[in-house]
């Protein structure tokens, strides 16, 4: 069934599944890490070896949902958007720093892009240091000692980032609905992501004006859906 006219498709089903699977694995890693390192939680666990095994394999599997999702076009498209940082993102950061109400953003704003890129790097660092910690017979003691230090402090930073991410999501119910159902309200999209092509397509389909909207110019598209052709230089 197509979404109602006042709602926009924001996330494909494959993107939502990758996000949910990654979130479950990340929460499992953090929960088991808490049981291993925090004495009050450790006392609640009867079999420490089971917790260690669950922590190890959930950490190894953490990158797999994203890697498998890259086989799908929707996941690759969103990954490409999250990896690009352009003038609109720098303008968004300046607007946040100056506390301006109007913040230009495409499908993802600069804060979401920075969080996604930081999370990807943190997952790779935690995976590498965790494997070094378990390679008792393959890695020197100095390497394993350094890996333990980085892994412990990295886990603290990851936990703080995940808590901030969850708190931000709790303050934005429409964003949560977009990740849960795949669609968002068109007015929310126009307010939070004015340069997103989905917002431009909806606004131009309901307008009878022939003028080009600022979002279409930023995305390099005209209201009719065709790309602008570069003018030849004399």
Decide if 185 is inside a domain.
Answer: yes
Confidence (pLDDT) at 68: 95
The whole-number average pLDDT for the span 184-194 is 93
- List the alpha helices (DSSP H) in 38-140: 39-42, 48-61, 64-69, 73-83, 87-97, 110-134
For 84, the domain range is 7-195
Decide if 2 is inside a domain.
Answer: no
> Among 74-83, 95-104, 222-231, which is the least confidently predicted range?
222-231
Confidence (pLDDT) at 139: 81
A 10 A CB-CB count for 186 gives 19
Decide if 204 is inside a domain.
Answer: no
Decide if 209 is inside a domain.
Answer: no
Band (208; pLDDT cuts 50, 70, 90): very low
DSSP reduced 3-state for 140: coil
And the tokens for 215? 């979002």
Band (2; pLDDT cuts 50, 70, 90): low
CATH number at residue 19: 1.20.950.20
Q: Rounded to an integer, what distance in angstroms lies between the CA atom of residue 77 and that of residue 125? A: 25
Question: What is the C-alpha end-to-end distance of the chain, expressed in Å?
Answer: 50
Decide if 231 is inside a domain.
Answer: no
Total number of domains in the chain: 1
A 10 A CB-CB count for 152 gives 13
Please determine, for residue 137, whether its predicted confidence score (pLDDT) is greater than 50: yes
pLDDT digits (tens, 9 = 90+) for 36-69: 888 878 777 777 888 999 999 999 999 999 999 9
Q: Residue count of the chain, please give it.
A: 234
Q: Which range is most confident: 17-26, 49-58, 202-211? A: 17-26
Q: Rounded to an integer, what distance in angstroms lies between the CA atom of residue 200 and that of residue 139? A: 54
72 CB-contact burial (10 Å; exposed 0-12 / middle 13-18 / buried 19+): middle
């Amino acid at each position: 069934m197509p979404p109602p006219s006042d709602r926009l498709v924001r996330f494909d089903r494959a993107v939502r599944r990758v996000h949910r699977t990654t979130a479950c694995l990340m929460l499992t890693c953090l929960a088991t890490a808490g049981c291993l390192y925090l004495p009050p939680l450790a006392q609640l666990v009867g079999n420490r070896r089971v917790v260690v095994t669950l922590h190890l394999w959930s950490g190894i599997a953490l990158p797999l949902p994203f890697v498998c999702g890259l086989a799908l076009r929707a996941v690759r498209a969103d990954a490409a958007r999250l990896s690009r940082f352009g003038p609109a993102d720098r303008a968004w950061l300046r607007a946040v720093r100056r506390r301006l109400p109007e913040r230009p953003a495409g499908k993802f704003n600069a804060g979401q892009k920075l969080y996604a890129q930081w999370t990807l790097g943190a997952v790779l660092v935690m995976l590498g240091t965790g494997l070094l910690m378990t390679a008792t017979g393959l890695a020197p003691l100095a390497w394993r000692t350094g890996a333990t230090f980085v892994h412990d402090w990295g886990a603290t930073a990851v936990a703080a980032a995940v808590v901030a991410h969850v708190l931000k999501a709790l303050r934005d119910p429409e964003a949560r609905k977009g990740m849960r159902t795949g669609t968002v309200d068109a007015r929310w999209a126009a307010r939070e992501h004015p340069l997103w092509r989905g917002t431009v397509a909806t606004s131009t389909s309901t307008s009878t004006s022939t003028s080009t909207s600022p979002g279409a110019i930023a995305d390099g598209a005209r209201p009719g859906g065709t790309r602008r052709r570069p003018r030849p230089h004399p």
